[in-house]
Structures are given as structure tokens and as C-alpha cells.
Amino acid sequence: MKNLLIMGAPGAGKGTQASLIKNEYQIAHISTGDMFREAMSNQTPVGLEAKKYIDNGLLVPDTITVKLVEERLQKDDCKNGFLLDGFPRNISQAEALDKMLASSGIKLSGVINIQTDDLVLIDRIVGRRTCPVCKEGYHITSKKPKVENVCDKCGATLVQRADDNVETVSNRLKVYHEQTAPVLDYYKKQGLVIDVDGMQDINDVFKEITKKLGDNK
Ligand code: ADP
Ligand code: AMP
């Protein structure tokens, strides 16, 4: 059973790989970004509060984010393993996660770290398109849908995320380097980090991940 984290800068390819890993290992994919986008589209109190931060490329406060993850990890589909994508994003979230897992007797199996050069991230973020229905991710050049702007899987019209614009990107990268990158050192000390070269094409990144995770499902 695998209890994994996937980390990397915004646009590194976490969601893309998470969707492939989820299918391969049959584990729950928990993306805090997806959960916030869902809450925003439903205009829930959490969604309305989160929007203020997300629109500016800032982290949503820990009190909100940690509670969301804590409740999500208690759901049945996490019992056979999970892949957390986009959480933890700072040291205090990492410490909160440690506490949550320890109280349920769960150990992390590994932390996948997708390494990228900052120079590719703006193009990946600005060119990202997403299916609003099944959440499949695309890119205008590196992962084109068969029919322009239409989801291959469910036929819905693809959308661009409101925060995927040049204005928020620099804030998101700054937040990543200042607050999220230190989380990697936190897990390196625990010997959990699995480095993967995120500059390869999507399938090769996935091959490297499965090779390093091994067959043990
Ligand atoms: P993250 O979840 O880390 O923010 P995504 O998985 O959404 O990133 O990927 C960002 C964009 O880059 C998407 O449009 C995706 O299709 C594209 N992408 C992901 N991985 C690669 C890759 N290895 N090479 C080129 N483009 C990629
Ligand atoms: P993502 O889809 O992972 O790129 O996340 C989109 C946005 O949601 C981020 O820029 C943050 O504003 C917010 N967000 C997602 N995950 C977290 C988290 N763990 N802590 C705080 N904010 C988050």
C-alpha cells in the first residue's frame, strides 16, 4: 500500500503525474488545489475565503487547509493508500500532517519530488487547460487534446484556470521557493524524498516514477 506525497513547483507536472499514478496504483488522489477550485465553483464559505488568496497567488491560511485535508484523509477511499498533491506547502502544514498520520498509525511511503527548471514553468502554467468536468489536464503544445479545446475523455469544453496568468505566476513561484521548498529538506532528513527529472516528456517522467516506486502496489 502506498501513502505518497507529490511535490514540485507550480506547473512542474504534479497533477499530470498524479492522475497516472492514481490509475497505476489504485490510490486516492487528493489535490488541495482541486478541492479549493471545487469549493470556489460551489461558492461555499471555504471557497469564498480561499478565492481571496488563490487569485493573488498566495497560500490559503493553514487553519482552513489543514482542516480540509484532515477531513479528506478520513474518507474510506484513503484506506488503500493516497497521493497528496499540493499539500503540505509549508513546514507548519508538514508538521500538522505528521500529527494527523501519527494519530491514525499511518506512515508515509515516499515523497515524489518533480524537479524542473523555473524557465519552463511559465509556459506550462500559461498553456495549461483543464477539463472542468473530469479534471483531466492538457497543454496547448505539450499535451494537446485530439480536438482543439475539447476533453478527449468526456467531451467537455476545456477551461483555463483563473489563477494561470502571468501576474500570479511570479507570486506563486516566490511562495514555492520561500515556503514550499524547505518542506523538501524536512522530508529529506527523514529519507523519504524520491527525486524525478521533470524536464522529460510526460511519459518518461511517469516511467521514472514507477521505476523508482517499484512494483510493490
Ligand atoms: P502542477 O500540478 O504541478 O501545477 P500540471 O500537472 O497541471 O502541474 O502541469 C502543468 C502543465 O504542464 C499542464 O498543462 C501539463 O499538461 C503540462 N505538463 C505536465 N508535465 C509536463 C512535461 N513533463 N512536459 C511538458 N509539459 C508538461
Ligand atoms: P494548485 O492547484 O496546487 O496549483 O493550487 C492552486 C492554489 O490553491 C495555490 O496557488 C494556493 O493559493 C491554493 N492552495 C493549494 N494547496 C494549498 C495548500 N496546501 N496550502 C495553501 N494554499 C493552497
Q: How many CB atoms lie within 10 A of CB 85?
A: 24
pLDDT of residue 162: 92
Distance 215 CA to ligand 2 centre (A): 31
- Is the pLDDT at 27 greater than 60? The verdict is yes
Nearest to 58 by CA among 162, 168, 160: 168
Q: Is the CB of 202 under 6 A from ligand 1?
A: yes
Confidence of residue 1 (pLDDT cuts 50, 70, 90): confident
The CB-side HSE value for 125 (13 A sphere, CA atoms) comes to 23
Q: pLDDT tens digit string along 129-169?
A: 999 998 899 999 999 999 999 999 999 999 999 999 988 99
- Is the pLDDT at 18 greater than 60? The verdict is yes
Tell me the domain boundaries of the chain.
2-117+167-214, 128-163
- Judged by DSSP in three states, 177 sits in helix
CATH 3.40.50.300 fits 2-117+167-214, yes or no: yes
Q: What is the residue-wise DSSP string for 16-53?
A: HHHHHHHHHHT-EEEEHHHHHHHHHHTT-HHHHHHHHH
Rg, C-alpha atoms of the chain: 16
Which one of 32, 49, 130 would you pick to mutate in the ligand 2 pocket, going by the greatest count of ligand atoms within 8 A of its CB? 32
Confidence of residue 217 (pLDDT cuts 50, 70, 90): low
CA pair distance 55, 57, nearest whole angstrom? 6
Q: pLDDT tens digit string along 53-93?
A: 999 999 999 999 999 999 999 999 999 999 999 999 999 99
